[in-house]
Amino acid sequence: MSRESPVYWPQACAELAAHDAVLADLIARYPAVSLVSRGDAFHTLARSIVGQQISIKAADTIWTRLNLALGEINSEQVLSCSVETLRACGLSQRKVEYLADLARHAGHLNIAQWREWGDEDIIRELTQIRGIGRWSAEMFLMFYMLRPNVLPLDDMGLIKGIALHYHAGERRPRSELATLAATWQPWRSVATWYLWRSLDPVPVEY
C-alpha cells in the first residue's frame, strides 16, 4: 500500500515556524517525518472507529489483533468475520456494529467526488454512517484526504498538547483553543500533527 505525504508540508512548516515559537521548536525536533496517507479510505475510517475514546496504545493493540484475525482489513473481511472473532480482538459490541455498518457502506462512498468538496460537506456526509462522528471524520480528512486546515478540537492529544506547551499544563476552554488555533491557519492539520508528536514521537497512521 503506497504512502503519500502532503505536497504542502514544507511550506506549512516554514510558515508555522515563522509565526509560532512553540511550533518552530517542535518542527525542528522532528525534521524527518510528516503526515502520511495510506491511500485506503476504508482502512482510515476503520482505524478511527477502533481508536474512538481509547488510548493510542490500546488502539494499536486492537488493530494488530484485527490484522492477525482478518489477514487484511477491508470491508469484505469484516463482513465475513464473526462477531465473536471481532470481539476477541478487543472491540466493544458497539464498535463491532460500527465496523459492520461501515463495511456495508464502503461501496457507496463517492470519495472521488469529495475531492471537490469542502471539509464541512465531507464531515456531514461521513457522519451519516453509524459510528462515524465528527472526530472520526476529521481523522479521515487529515489522514486520507490530507486536508491542511483540520482542527480536531475533541481530540484529547491536541487538547493535552496545547495545555502542555501553551498554558503550563492547564487545560483551557474550547473557545480559547480555537482562538489560538486560528493563528495556525491555513495549516491547522500540520500544527495539530506536531503537537501530537510532542506527546508521542512515533506517528500514528490511520
What's the pLDDT score for residue 11? 97
List pLDDT tens digits, range 99-109: 999 999 887 88
Task: Output the CA–CA distances (angstroms, integers) from residue 126 to 27, 63, 135, 182, in the order listed.
Answer: 31, 21, 11, 25
Local structure of 199: helix, strand or coil: helix
Q: Where are the domains of the chain?
A: 9-36+150-199, 41-143
Q: What are 3-58's pLDDT values in tens digits?
A: 678 999 999 999 999 999 999 999 999 988 899 887 888 989 999 999 888 888 89
Name the band, by pLDDT with cuts 50, 70 and 90, for residue 69: very high
> What tens digit of pLDDT does each residue of 128-186 get?
898 899 999 999 999 999 999 999 999 999 999 999 999 999 999 999 999 999 999 99
Pick among 2.60.120.1440, 1.10.1670.40, 1.10.3720.10, 3.40.50.1370: CATH of 9-36+150-199: 1.10.1670.40
CATH T-level fold of 41-143:
Endonuclease III; domain 1 (1.10.340)
Q: Which H, E and C letters describe 62-121, residue by residue?
A: HHHHHHHHHCCCCHHHHHHCCHHHHHHCCCCHHHHHHHHHHHHHHHHCCHHHHCCCCHHH
